[in-house]
Structure 1
Amino acid sequence: MNDTPDLPPPSSAPAPSPAPAASAAPESTAPPARRKAGPGAWANPWLAVAIAGIGLAGWQWLETRGKLNGTQQEVAKRLADSDALVREARTLARQSQDATTQLTAKVGALEAKIAESQSQQAALENLYQELARNRDEQFLAEIDQNLSAASQQLQLAGNVQAAITALQAAEARLARAEQPRLIPLRKAIARDLDKLKSLPFADVPGMSLRLENAVSSVDNLPLAFEGRPRGDDSHDARKAAPGKDAKPTAEPNLFARLGGDIWNEVKGLVRIQRFDRPEPALLAPDQSLYLRENLKLRLLNARLALLSRDQWTFRNELKVSQDWLARFFDVRDRNVAATQNTLKQLASAEISIDLPQISDSLAALKALKQGPQKDRK
Structure 2
Amino acid sequence: MEKSNKEPKIAAPVAESKAQTISADTKVPTADHAAKPSAAEPGVKNAAKPIKKADSNMNKAVSSNSQPISKWPIRLGFSLCFIIASTALGASYWLYTQSVLLKSELASKQLQTQQINGTVNTSLSYAKAKIESLEKQQQNNANAYQELTATKSTIEQLQTQVNALAQRSPNHWMASEANYLVRMASRKIWLESDLLTAVQLLESADERIAAMQNPALLPIRKALSQDIAELKSIKQLDISSHILALDNLIAKLDSLPLNANKTLAPTPVSTDAQLSSDVSDWQANLSKSWQAFSSSLVTIRKRTTDLEPLLSPEQQWYLTENIKNRLLQAQSALQHKDNQHFQQSLAMAKQWLSQYFDLHQSNTLETIETINKLAEIKLTPIAHKQLIATPLLEQLVTFGDISTSGEPTL
TM-score tier after normalising by the smaller chain length:
0.3 to 0.5
Higher relative contact order (CA 8 A, sep 6+): 1
Normalising by the residue count of structure 2, what TM-score does the alignment of the two structures yield? 0.44
Normalising by the residue count of structure 1, what TM-score does the alignment of the two structures yield? 0.47
